[in-house]
Copies of this chain bind each other. A is one copy, B any other.
């Protein structure tokens, strides 16, 4: 059994980006909109900023309290769209409940949509055309699998969870890689049976211990995208790691698996948008 070391690969990607960014005269810039007071969102945003700054990018956080009006955020995004010094715009999800997520996300110009969550970039991904950005978590998952020379072509892959952020774009990307993809979710009736047939299981539900050893076939590859906290406040994923690891051929840990890959891909997306806007080659 091999642990898929997301932290190691993320560091490798980040080191590569650091060198490229150092050579630039102008630095890539990311603007982050934080319109939510949940502590986890604040930590995510802080971590993203820390990493961006560490790599020599500029990072600007726009924080709003619960009294913010939708129009204020829309106006800000319109201003950022026009601002030549801003290459990437990110609206940290979820937003306060009174805000229209769809509307706010789709105010972002596709060419600055660093998360790839706009209708335009989603449509490109679904048609296997060229989106400006590919959502960071799905992108990170595929990079990590490829780093370990795991073939996707013709493989039976089950993706559990159908969010617009992870499950759906990931399924479409895996389809573009010629995998046979099953999209499973909370309404799936026979999850165990579905999982037992899979060469690769990717779980993105946030449900603790959903994937147990008796649900995977021997030597399956297991990718855990879930992040939650167990009773002693320790970070844990969707997979019963201790038991599943003895049956899997490859498995991602939580933490240290997909989490760091997501941040590395966010910085990579920022850098790539910078290049596209400045018509430079990679």
Contact = CB atoms under 8 A, between A and B. Distances in A.
A153 interface: yes
Contact of A129 (B119, B128, B156): B119
Contacts of A193: 197
A63 interface: no
Contact of A118 (B123, B171, B172): B123
A270 interface: no
Contacts of A162: 175
Interface string A139-164: 00000000000000110100000101
Per DSSP, chain A at the interface is mixed
Contacts of A189: 154, 180
A154 B123 contact: no
A105 to B, nearest CB: 9
A61 B281 CA distance: 43
A179 B102 CA distance: 24
A42 interface: no
A122 B168 CA distance: 13
Interface of A: 102, 118-129, 153-154, 156, 162, 164, 168, 171-172, 175, 178-185, 187-190, 193-194, 197
9 contacts: A102-B129, A119-B124, A122-B126, A126-B126, A127-B168, A171-B183, A175-B185, A181-B183, A197-B197
Given A125-B126, A180-B183, 20 more contacts: A119-B129, A120-B123, A122-B123, A122-B127, A123-B124, A123-B126, A126-B172, A127-B164, A127-B168, A154-B187, A154-B188, A154-B189, A168-B175, A175-B185, A179-B187, A180-B185, A180-B189, A181-B183, A193-B197, A197-B197
